[in-house]
Structure 1
Amino acid sequence: MGAMTASLPGPAPDSPALRASHAERDAVIERLQDAAVEGRIDFAELDVRVERALGAKEQAELALLVADLPPVAGAEPGEPVVLNGGMAGIVRKGAWTVPASLTVNAGMGGAVLDFTRVTTRLPEVEIRVKAKMGGVVVVVPEGWAVDTDRMDPDMGGVRDRTAEGRRAPGTPLIRLVGSAGMGGVVVRHPSLRERRKLRRELES
Structure 2
Amino acid sequence: MTSDSPDPSRRKDLRVSHAERDAVVERLREAAGEGRLDLDELESRVGLALTAKTYGDLEALTADLPPQPPPRQEPPLVLKGGLNGASRTGRWRVPEHITADGGLGGVKIDFTRADCPLPEVRVEAHGQAAGVTIVVPDGWMVETSGFDPAIGGLKDKTDHDPLPGTPLIRLTGNGGSAGVVVRHPNRWERRKLERNPPNTSLG
Alignment partner for residue 102 of structure 2, among 96, 99, 106?
Answer: 106
1:82 lines up with 2:78 in the alignment: yes
- Does the 8 Å CA contact 1:121/1:170 hold for their aligned counterparts? no
Alignment partner for residue 94 of structure 1, among 90, 96, 101?
Answer: 90
Looking at structure 1, the residues matched to 153 and 137 of structure 2 have their Cα atoms a distance apart, in angstroms, of: 22
Percent of aligned pairs sharing the same letter: 48
Aligned AA (1:170)? G
Q: Give the corresponding residue for 1:201.
A: 196
Superimposed CA distance per residue, residues 55-96 of structure 1 (whole angstroms, 9 cap, x where no aligned partner): xxxxxxxxxxxxxxxxxxxx9873212111101111110111
Q: Give the corresponding residue for 2:174.
A: 179
- Does the 8 Å CA contact 1:76/1:122 hold for their aligned counterparts? no
Q: What does 1:104-143 align with in structure 2 at a 5 Å threshold?
A: 104-143=100-139
Alignment partner for residue 190 of structure 1, among 182, 185, 188?
Answer: 185
Looking at structure 1, the residues matched to 152 and 100 of structure 2 have their Cα atoms a distance apart, in angstroms, of: 16
Looking at structure 2, the residues matched to 91 and 164 of structure 1 have their Cα atoms a distance apart, in angstroms, of: 24
- TM-score scaled to structure 1, two decimals? 0.59
Aligned-partner SS, 2:188: helix
- Does the 8 Å CA contact 1:77/1:99 hold for their aligned counterparts? no
Distance 1:76 1:85, change over 3 A: same
Looking at structure 2, the residues matched to 111 and 123 of structure 1 have their Cα atoms a distance apart, in angstroms, of: 24
How many residues were matched structurally?
129
Looking at structure 2, the residues matched to 170 and 119 of structure 1 have their Cα atoms a distance apart, in angstroms, of: 14
Give structure 2 stretches of 5+ with no counterpart. 1-70, 199-203
Q: Give the corresponding residue for 1:4.
A: none
Aligned AA (1:171)? T
- TM-score scaled to structure 2, two decimals? 0.60
- Does the 8 Å CA contact 2:142/2:160 hold for their aligned counterparts? no
Looking at structure 2, the residues matched to 149 and 176 of structure 1 have their Cα atoms a distance apart, in angstroms, of: 8
Superimposed CA distance per residue, residues 147-177 of structure 1 (whole angstroms, 9 cap, x where no aligned partner): 1111111110001001121x22332100110
- Does the 8 Å CA contact 2:79/2:87 hold for their aligned counterparts? no
Distance 1:124 1:199, change over 3 A: same
Distance 1:189 1:179, change over 3 A: same
Superimposed CA distance per residue, residues 110-137 of structure 1 (whole angstroms, 9 cap, x where no aligned partner): 1000000012110110011121101000
Distance 1:192 1:152, change over 3 A: same
Let me know the Cα RMSD of the aligned residues: 2.0
Give the number of the structure with larger relative contact order, counting CA–CA contacts within 8 Å between residues 6 or more apart. Answer: 1
Aligned-partner SS, 2:99: strand
